[in-house]
């Protein structure tokens, strides 16, 4: 009796241990199948003002898809705070959605996990070919020289949003085109509890997006050509310092913005607390906050001198959302069909209008809807003066490490502590050492 | 084989000795029952502990010897063994990763000591003051238990709202109404974040100490107070000479439990600061979370967790040794 | 506060210094405890403009709008149900299992008893972060091998949470059962009850305060957990702890709705807790701190 029990207990333990250790992660070897051709699971990122709004935008389109193909799409809108974690756990377990949205800057990182379906010529052929898409958007779909890990879905670019009335009241005739002008204007606007510019000091991703552009303008990069982290070059230090100095030295950003991480600066802009905002595709957002479209103007993000262009005159990252397919989907054909549907000219028009983004699909982009003056700024920026964030496998670590370093610098600036070249360099050095060693 | 029967019989003898009830059942079936029953009763708990705590812990330890980065998470069985590399990185205190871990460790220790100390102090004081009867005592006791009863995230998120720089209550009171500071302070970033974290932790934690001490006070025999009163000891002296010493065994358990909970607390800093905590309030659990989930290096994260576990084992062991000395029965 | 006739606890009337210090201390402490509670309640009744501007003690206007909006901004009702199911089931299972284990440890002596208690208790010191990913992998693999969906299901979460509260519950109940006189279950055994009969007819009824205390603790543990819920749930099974993050979206932070929702999810636990606090003290007195 004793021995039987002991043996039983042992068997339970061993089976648990083998279950745990032997199989490792999920169904790693399977390359996708068509076992359940009638359903798809789709994780959408939160693009609208709330998750409820996203569902309202997407559901009719998914119904349309079901009518066309008979495939039912189960939609889950995942908040940004959860999305990367959810993708990670899905990757680890092999239990994920069939199709999902990813931030385009994560493309190379997620590509490295091998969990996403590579978009080779054959797969691209199924959705109408690679050349349907705008080049700049394709530049943010994975590491160079590899098949893209995802397909562009929505494109966005940074622009300078400014409050027309506050500009007029301060006697400013036209939006600034260089940083010097922006600072001068900002100083005129920063008084009486109002401030020149808004920022999201505690949001690592926002910090990275701006620091990246500033670095470009200083002729520097965060990664060497062979993909090694290089955060402490003079150009990068100057770039990060210039960004933080908007609060620390120029004092045109309210110190309180140092703790913003939940888009409070957009709300501040909408309520007239800030006169300017550097943001990507904010129109729909501002509208939902009750700011009418004619009360603000949209201009290109300033440069050091001259006009936006390439090289040192880059003034935005290529922002956007990509659509990816999980390699081990059990409805490969359906997933491909769904990607084709979502990137079709008609759907691109509907979705990008709803989210005030720019279609990365050429045919859709030329539609009249996207030729309004405000969209023209975004479109021109994307076409002429936007650069893709480094497409390296360590991108997400880079965002965390450097984004957090800048967050700490903002905290220093807000507390009135000096932000010097040395202190910037020290923070960046620490960030660099936290990057994975190769 | 013979040894097993021998020990079984020995076990049975002790069973019979220690549980007189069980010994009275019918002899033959009772024998199997008596030996089997306790194990049967323990089985569910045992299986669950194995499944949820022990096996995962073993896996965690295995992972800490692997190079488990984003390239391998899809199939972590194939991740290469990295020997002690993850540990070396974690304890190389001259390099940033190790130094950050060490800093985080010291922040956590300081935070835990202060938080446990304050929770205990406030809890004990409140329990002693609330011993006598006075009007509103029942209501006050209920009010005091609210922070503990609130779900962690709702409590912490309310504090986040109060700690905001521009619109928060704390700055409104300290700066606008009391004029104690030159300019509004930051509580959720920078150095003050430590104070913010401590405040929330104490606010949330002291009622537990209060509850336990209150229960402990009920076990102090009335005669002790009466005898002391006869000796002419006043209220304060009674507290010092009788109440506090009598609470010692309660305190030993209370402090240990508070220590472990506070040290391992993840929810409070996570809701308060999000995924990346300010350096001044970078508690070790969030630090490890960031090291594993945000930078996708689960091997190093696991190594750090194992180190943390070893530290807690040592502390708990030493604590139990020290406190049980001089005490005949160790509660734990 | 004025009537200061003490219970028989202390035969002498407390001195003035004691009364004054008590008055001051308890007043300050009440303030400290109540301010956040006041902020939660008042903010939940404020219009959005009030909560996104400078803090004000007195709302500029009262509105119940937030209490209406919370249900549509995020599917709060669904999260509520999930939390209720998960926490409820975890509590019931945890209590039942703890009762069995504690009874075994309290009433029997057997080989491995000490190993068992020490092991179970020591799990209390495990940092959650250490076994988050392993546990997740384990669930996934059990799911793949047996078809039992643990990952992403409420079942998996229930299993996890009930185990979290188990060590403390067992330990408290051992203490409580020890304080129930053995003569009682012996008498039951003489009357012909089996050991389980003795447990359920005699020991459990005598230990109700301890069991209630344990149940309250288990429920609170499950109701408030964030870390595991954030990884182990999906859209259909998300619990309140994670779901409440939905109120800070791309747009703005709807503080009034956050506060209203916080209040709504807090009321059941706080009310339950306060109703049962009498048991709690009684349970702790006999169980944990004897």
Stated as kind and residue range, the H or E segment containing B320 is: helix B298-324
- Smallest Cβ–Cβ distance between B96 and the set A113, A114, A433 belongs to A433
Partner B contacted by A67 (CB < 8 A): no
Task: Give the torsion through C-alpha atoms of B290, B293, B299, B301, to 10 deg.
Answer: 30
Taking contacts as CB-CB distances below 8 angstroms, the residues of chain C near B127 are: none
pLDDT on residue B250: 85
pLDDT on residue B158: 93
Task: Say whether B70 and A112 touch across the interface (CB within 8 A).
Answer: yes
Give the mean pLDDT of B246-274: 88
Q: Neighbouring chains of C at 3+ CB pairs within 8 Å?
A: A, B
Beta bridge partners of A297: A162
Look up the ipTM and state it.
Answer: 0.87
Chain B interface disruption, residue of C8, C74, C111, C130, most B CBs within 10 A = C130
Chain B interface disruption, residue of C27, C31, C86, C129, most B CBs within 10 A = C129
The CATH superfamily holding the domain A158-317+394-433 is Periplasmic binding protein-like II (3.40.190.10)
Nearest-by-CA chain C residue for B266: C227
Partner A contacted by C148 (CB < 8 A): no
Residue B28 pLDDT more than 50?
Answer: no
Radius of gyration of chain A (CA): 24
Contact (CB, 8 A) for A391 and B162: no
For CATH 1.10.3720.10, list the domain ranges present in chain B.
85-324
Q: With 0-12 CB in 10 A as exposed, 13-18 as middle and 19+ as buried, what is A422?
A: exposed
Domain range B85-324, CATH class: mainly alpha
- Give the model's confidence band at B31: pLDDT under 50 very low, under 70 low, under 90 confident, else very high: low
CA dihedral over A418, A420, A423, A428, signed as positive or negative: positive
- Sheet hosting strand A39-45, strand order edge to edge: A72-78, A39-45, A99-103, A319-325, A151-156
DSSP-derived secondary structure for B227-265: HHHHTT--HHHHIIIIIHHHTHHHHHHHHHHHHHHHHT-
Give the mean pLDDT of B119-133: 92
pLDDT on residue A66: 95
pLDDT on residue C279: 82
Nearest-by-CA chain C residue for B305: C130
3-state secondary structure chain A: CHHHHHHHHHHHHHHHHHHHHHCCCCCCCCCCCCCCCCEEEEEEECCCCCHHHHHHHHHHHHHHHHHHHCCEEEEEEECHHHHHHHHHHHHHHCCCCCEEEEEHHHHHHHHHHCCECCCCHHHHHHCCCHHHECHHHHCCCCCCCCCCCCEEEEEECEEEEEEHHHHHHCCCCCCCCEHHHHHHHHHHHCCCCCEEEECCCCCHHHHHHHHHHHHHHCCCCCECCCCCECCCCHHHHHHHHHHHHHHHCCCCECHHHHHCCCCHHHHHHHCCCEEEEEEECCHHHHHHCCCCHHHEEEECCCECCCCCCCHHHCCEECEEEEEEEECCCCCHHHHHHHHHHHCCHHHHHHHHHHCCCECCEHHHHCCHHHHCHHHHHHHHHHHHHEECCCCCCCHHHHHHHHHHHHHHHHHHHHCCCCCCHHHHHHHHHHHHHCCCCC
Chain A residues 231-290 with CB within 8 Å of chain B: 254-256, 258-259, 261
For CATH 1.10.3720.10, list the domain ranges present in chain C.
73-286
Q: Which of A422-426, A428-432, B231-235, C20-24 has the lowest mean pLDDT?
A: B231-235
- Smallest Cβ–Cβ distance between C224 and the set B158, B253, B267 belongs to B267
Partner B contacted by C213 (CB < 8 A): no
Partner A contacted by C119 (CB < 8 A): no
Partner B contacted by A433 (CB < 8 A): yes
- Selection from C116, C109, C105 nearest residue B23 by Cα: C109
Give the mean pLDDT of B168-172: 91
Nearest-by-CA chain C residue for B211: C281
Partner B contacted by C131 (CB < 8 A): yes
CA distance B179 to chain C (A): 15
Give the CA distances from residue B86 to residues B65, B82, B252, in Å, rounded to whole numbers and listed in that order: 7, 7, 36
Q: Which of A87-96, C9-18, C191-200 has the lowest mean pLDDT?
A: C9-18
- Give the model's confidence band at C190: pLDDT under 50 very low, under 70 low, under 90 confident, else very high: confident
Chain A residues 124-183 with CB within 8 Å of chain B: none
CA distance B293 to chain A (A): 7
Task: Say whether B165 and A113 touch across the interface (CB within 8 A).
Answer: no
Task: Say whether A434 and B4 touch across the interface (CB within 8 A).
Answer: no
What pLDDT, in 10s, does the model give residues C164-174? 999 889 988 98
Beta bridge partners of A133: A361
Tokens for B258?
């508070």
Please calculate the CA angle A206-A210-A211 and round it to the nearest 5 degrees: 110
- Give the model's confidence band at C251: pLDDT under 50 very low, under 70 low, under 90 confident, else very high: low
Residue C12 pLDDT more than 60?
Answer: no
Residue C4 pLDDT more than 60?
Answer: no
What would be the CATH architecture of the domain defined by A39-156+319-387? 3-Layer(aba) Sandwich (3.40)
For chain A of 438 residues, list the mean pLDDT of each consecutive stretch of 10.
47 44 39 79 88 90 94 90 84 86 91 92 92 90 91 94 94 94 94 92 92 95 89 95 95 93 88 93 83 92 91 92 92 94 94 91 88 86 90 86 93 91 93 78
Nearest-by-CA chain B residue for C50: B167
Task: Say whether A25 and B36 touch across the interface (CB within 8 A).
Answer: no
- The one-character DSSP state at B81 is B
Q: Which of A266-270, B76-80, B317-321 has the lowest mean pLDDT?
A: B76-80
Task: Say whether B270 and C189 touch across the interface (CB within 8 A).
Answer: no
Tokens for A362?
């050429």
The pTM (predicted TM-score) of the whole model is 0.86
Task: Say whether C249 and A46 touch across the interface (CB within 8 A).
Answer: yes
Q: CATH fold of C73-286, please?
A: MetI-like fold (1.10.3720)
């Amino acid at each position: 009796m004793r021995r039987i029990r002991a043996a039983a207990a042992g068997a339970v333990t061993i089976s648990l241990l083998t279950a745990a250790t032997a199989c490792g992660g999920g169904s790693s070897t399977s390359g996708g199948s068509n076992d359940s051709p009638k359903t798809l699971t789709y994780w959408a990122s939160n693009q609208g003002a709330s998750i409820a709004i996203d569902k309202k935008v997407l559901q009719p389109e998914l119904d349309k898809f079901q009518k066309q193909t008979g495939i039912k799409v189960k939609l889950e809108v995942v908040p940004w705070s959860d999305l990367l974690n959810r993708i990670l756990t899905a990757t680890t377990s092999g239990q994920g959605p069939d199709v999902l949205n990813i931030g385009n800057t994560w493309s190379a990182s997620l590509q490295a996990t091998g969990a996403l379906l590579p978009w080779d010529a054959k797969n691209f052929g199924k959705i109408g070919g690679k050349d349907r898409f705008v080049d700049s958007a394709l530049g943010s779909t994975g590491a160079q020289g590899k098949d893209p890990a995802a397909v562009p879905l929505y494109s966005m670019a940074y622009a300078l949003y400014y409050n027309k009335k506050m500009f007029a009241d301060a006697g400013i005739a036209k939006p600034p085109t260089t940083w010097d002008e922006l600072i001068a204007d900002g100083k005129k606007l920063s008084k009486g509890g109002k401030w020149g510019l808004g920022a999201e000091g505690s949001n690592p991703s926002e910090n990275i997006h701006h620091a990246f552009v500033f670095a470009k303008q200083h002729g520097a990069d965060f990664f060497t050509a062979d993909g090694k982290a290089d955060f402490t070059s003079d150009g990068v230090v100057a770039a990060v310092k210039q960004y933080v100095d908007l609060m620390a030295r120029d004092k045109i950003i309210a110190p309180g913005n140092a703790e913003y991480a939940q888009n409070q600066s957009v709300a501040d802009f909408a309520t007239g607390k800030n006169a300017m905002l550097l943001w990507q595709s904010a129109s729909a957002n501002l509208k939902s906050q009750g700011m009418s479209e004619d009360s603000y103007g949209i201009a290109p993000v300033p440069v050091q001198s001259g006009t936006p262009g390439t090289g040192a005159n880059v003034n935005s990252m290529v922002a956007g959302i990509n659509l990816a397919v999980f390699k081990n989907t059990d409805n490969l054909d359906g997933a491909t069909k769904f990607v084709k549907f979502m990137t079709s000219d008609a759907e691109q028009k509907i979705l990008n209008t709803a989210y005030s983004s720019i279609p990365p699909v050429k045919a859709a982009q030329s539609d009249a809807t996207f030729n309004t003056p405000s969209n023209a700024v975004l479109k021109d920026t994307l076409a002429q003066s936007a650069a893709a964030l480094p497409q390296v496998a360590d991108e997400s670590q880079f965002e965390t490490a450097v984004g957090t370093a800048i967050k700490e610098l903002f905290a220093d600036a807000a507390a009135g502590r000096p932000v010097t070249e040395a202190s910037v360099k020290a923070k960046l050095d620490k960030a660099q050492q936290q990057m994975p060693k190769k | 084989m013979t040894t097993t029967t021998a020990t079984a019989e020995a076990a049975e003898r002790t069973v019979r000795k220690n549980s007189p009830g069980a010994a009275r059942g019918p002899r033959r079936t009772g024998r199997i029952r008596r030996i089997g029953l306790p194990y049967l009763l323990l089985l569910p708990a045992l299986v669950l502990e194995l499944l949820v705590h022990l096996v995962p812990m073993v896996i965690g330890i295995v992972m800490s010897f692997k190079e488990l980065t984003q390239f391998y998470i899809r199939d972590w069985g194939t991740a290469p063994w990295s020997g002690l590399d993850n540990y070396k990185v974690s304890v190389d205190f001259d390099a940033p990763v190790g130094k950050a871990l060490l800093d985080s460790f010291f922040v956590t220790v300081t935070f835990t000591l202060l938080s446990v100390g304050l929770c205990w102090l406030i809890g004990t004081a409140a329990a002693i003051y609330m011993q006598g009867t006075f009007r509103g005592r029942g209501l006050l006791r209920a009010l005091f238990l609210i922070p503990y009863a609130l779900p962690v995230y709702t409590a912490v998120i309310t504090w986040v709202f109060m700690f905001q720089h521009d619109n928060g209550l704390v700055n409104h009171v300290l700066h606008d109404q009391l004029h104690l500071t030159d300019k509004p302070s930051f509580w959720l970033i920078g150095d003050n974040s430590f104070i913010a974290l401590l405040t929330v932790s104490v606010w949330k934690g002291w009622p537990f100490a209060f509850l336990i001490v209150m229960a402990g006070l009920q076990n102090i025999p009335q005669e002790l107070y009466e005898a002391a009163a006869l000796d002419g000891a006043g209220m304060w002296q009674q507290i010092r000479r009788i109440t506090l010493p009598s609470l010692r065994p309660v305190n030993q358990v209370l402090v240990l439990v508070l220590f472990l909970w506070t040290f391992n607390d993840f929810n409070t800093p996570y809701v308060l600061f999000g995924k990346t905590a300010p350096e001044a309030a970078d508690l070790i659990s969030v630090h490890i979370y960031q090291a594993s989930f945000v930078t996708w290096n689960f091997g190093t994260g696991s190594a750090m967790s194992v180190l943390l576990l070893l530290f807690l084992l040592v502390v708990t062991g030493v604590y139990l040794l020290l406190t049980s000395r001089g005490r005949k029965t160790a509660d734990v | 506060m004025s009537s200061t006739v003490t219970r028989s606890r202390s035969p002498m009337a407390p001195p003035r210094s004691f009364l004054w210090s008590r008055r001051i201390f308890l007043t300050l402490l009440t303030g400290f405890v109540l301010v956040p509670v006041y902020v939660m309640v008042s903010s939940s009744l404020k219009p959005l403009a009030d909560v996104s501007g400078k803090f004000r003690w007195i709302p500029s206007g009262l509105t119940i709008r937030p209490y209406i909006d919370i249900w549509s901004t995020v599917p709060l009702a669904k999260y509520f149900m999930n939390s209720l199911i998960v926490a409820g089931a975890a509590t019931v299972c945890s209590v039942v299992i703890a009762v069995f284990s504690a009874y075994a440890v309290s009433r029997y002596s057997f080989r491995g008893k000490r190993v068992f208690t020490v092991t179970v208790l020591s799990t209390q010191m495990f940092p959650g972060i250490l076994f988050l990913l392993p546990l997740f992998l384990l669930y996934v693999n059990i799911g793949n091998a047996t078809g039992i969906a643990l990952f992403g299901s409420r079942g998996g979460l229930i299993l996890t949470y009930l185990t979290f509260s188990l060590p403390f519950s067992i330990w408290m109940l051992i203490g409580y059962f020890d304080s129930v006189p053995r003569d009682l279950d012996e008498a039951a055994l003489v009357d012909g009850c089996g050991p389980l009969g003795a447990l359920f007819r005699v020991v459990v009824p005598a230990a109700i305060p301890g069991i209630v205390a344990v149940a309250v603790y288990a429920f609170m543990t499950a109701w408030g957990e964030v870390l595991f819920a954030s990884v182990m749930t999906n859209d259909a099974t998300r619990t309140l702890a994670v779901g409440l993050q939905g109120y800070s979206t791309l747009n703005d932070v709807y503080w009034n709705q956050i506060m209203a929702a916080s209040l709504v999810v807090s009321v059941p636990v706080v009310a339950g807790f306060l109703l049962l606090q009498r048991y709690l003290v009684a349970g702790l007195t006999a169980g944990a701190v004897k």
